[in-house]
């Protein structure tokens, strides 16, 4: 199994429970494991019944397992502060205030959240040397797909910016020659250097997501969840990212044979309907079902995670990353 494992899906299907259970499964198998939440709901703290922040912290009672929760608002502010510092070194003092005002407005603009979160989770991947396995509990499907599609989009954008910058510098150098030697502005241009740095960052991200990551979707046995999962698989394929498997969560338990009351009849009808949905999943979605997890009467947290972990038919053996380390 690849070192980076992502669990995604529609909001409320149980991604966090499955992510944490797989983290426990990996740690019990002897792997140093980190569970990372990129979901704004931050339910990892609830599942493990302890608080987590932006830095890894040990999970109580599970040797070899750490967890962390990335806060989107903090990351957006950190991201914009970094842009402000970089630009402040390259523009006049008169422009600094204007830049600050524009960046404050950018805090709530579409894409700011995804861009900042993308940078942070790629940093986690690049700094993952202490761990054999990193498990990502992602935000709901739409946000995650936008996040995973960023490398290809931004690589093309950076290439265009670099081309324009190089062309501009080339024209400036030619105009500045006259009777003097050419001014080699391009060699030390801070803007071009920053663009090249970002290009390498996006190239790493694209390569790591394709070579060192495995993707699983969690779904519930209802038509809305199945339909959204189908669309997500198709979009992942468009981004050249394959989905390794599917986890059907919160299945209705079947009543005992001797139960014949109204509640038992309702449960049998529901089980039959869910069986039809699962048949549709097997026949039409492509990736295999790697787990079918029944609804528990108690919340799945603490020791119950081990029970769910046993139901996940997802290997834990770790592969050496090809682009990290």
Mean pLDDT of the chain: 81
Q: Please tell me the predicted confidence (pLDDT) of residue 160.
A: 75
Tokens 């990353």 correspond to 321
261: exposed, middle or buried (C-beta count within 10 Å: 0-12, 13-18, 19+)?
Answer: exposed
Q: Domain for residue 244, yes or no?
A: yes
pLDDT at 62: 95
Q: Which residue has the higher pLDDT, 14 or 152?
A: 14
How large is the average pLDDT for residues 51-70?
94
Give the domain range for residue 52: 4-77+111-153+211-311
pLDDT of residue 325: 47
Q: Helix or strand or coil: residue 162?
A: helix
Q: Are 16 and 37 in contact (CB under 8 A)?
A: yes
Residue range 104-123: average pLDDT?
68
Q: What's the gap between Cα 303 and its chain centre?
A: 26
Query: pLDDT class for 51, splitting at 50, 70, 90?
Result: very high
Residue 324 lies inside a defined structural domain of this protein: no
State the pTM of this model.
Answer: 0.80
Which residues are within 8 A (CB) of 149 and not within 5 positions of it... i.e. 6 or more apart? 235, 239
φ/ψ (deg, to 5) at 54: -75, -15
What's the CATH code of the domain at 18? 3.40.50.300
| Structural domains in the chain (count) | 1
pLDDT in tens, 217-262: 999 999 999 999 999 999 888 888 889 999 999 999 998 888 888 8
Rounded mean pLDDT, 6-26:
93
**Per the domain annotation, does 19 fall within a domain?**
yes
Number of C-alpha atoms within 13 angstroms, CB side, residue 160? Answer: 6
40 has a pLDDT exceeding 60: yes
- Is 287 inside a domain boundary? yes
Residue 191 confidence (pLDDT): 65
Stretch among 69-73, 91-95, 214-218, 265-269 having the lowest mean pLDDT: 91-95
- Percent of the chain residues past pLDDT 90, beyond the cut: 39
Give the pLDDT confidence score for residue 217 in this predicted structure: 95
Please check the confidence at residue 282 and state whether its pLDDT lies above 70.
yes
Strands 57-58 and 65-69: antiparallel
pLDDT given at position 271: 94
Q: CA-CA distance, 123 to 128, in Å (whole number)?
A: 8
Is position 251 within any domain? Answer: yes
The segment with the largest mean pLDDT, out of 52-66, 158-172, 180-194, is: 52-66
Q: Which of 53-57, 67-71, 159-163, 175-179 has the lowest average pLDDT?
A: 175-179
Structural domain includes residue 271: yes
């Amino acid at each position: 199994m690849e070192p980076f494992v992502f669990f995604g899906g529609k909001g409320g299907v149980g991604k966090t429970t499955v992510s944490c259970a797989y983290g426990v499964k990996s740690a019990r198998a002897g792997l140093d494991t980190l569970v990372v939440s990129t979901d704004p709901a931050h339910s990892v703290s609830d599942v493990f019944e302890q608080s987590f922040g932006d830095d890894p912290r040990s999970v109580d009672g599970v040797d070899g397992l750490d967890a962390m929760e990335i806060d989107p608002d903090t990351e957006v502010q950190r991201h914009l502060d970094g842009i402000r510092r970089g630009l402040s070194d390259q523009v006049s003092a008169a422009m600094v205030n204007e830049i600050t005002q524009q960046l404050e407005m950018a805090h709530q603009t579409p894409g700011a959240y995804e861009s900042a979160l993308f940078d942070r989770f790629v940093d986690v991947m690049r700094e993952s040397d202490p761990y054999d396995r990193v498990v990502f509990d992602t935000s709901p499907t739409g946000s995650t797909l936008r996040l995973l599609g960023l490398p290809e989009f931004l690589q093309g954008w950076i290439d265009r910016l670099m081309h324009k910058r190089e062309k501009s510098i080339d024209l400036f150098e030619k105009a500045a020659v006259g009777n003097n030697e050419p001014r080699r502005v391009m060699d030390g241009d801070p803007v071009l250097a920053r663009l090249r740095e970002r290009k390498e960052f996006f190239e790493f991200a694209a390569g790591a997501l394709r070579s060192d990551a495995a993707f699983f979707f969690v779904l519930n046995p209802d038509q809305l969840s199945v339909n959204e999962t189908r669309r997500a698989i198709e979009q992942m394929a468009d981004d050249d990212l394959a989905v390794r498997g599917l986890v059907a969560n919160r299945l209705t338990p079947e009543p005992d044979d001797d139960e014949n009351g109204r509640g038992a009849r309702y449960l049998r009808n529901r089980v039959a309907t869910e069986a039809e949905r699962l048949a549709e999943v097997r026949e039409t979605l492509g990736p295999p079902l790697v787990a079918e997890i029944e609804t528990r009467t108690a919340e799945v947290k603490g020791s119950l995670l081990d029970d769910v972990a046993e139901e996940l038919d997802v290997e834990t053996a770790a592969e050496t990353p090809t682009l990290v380390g």
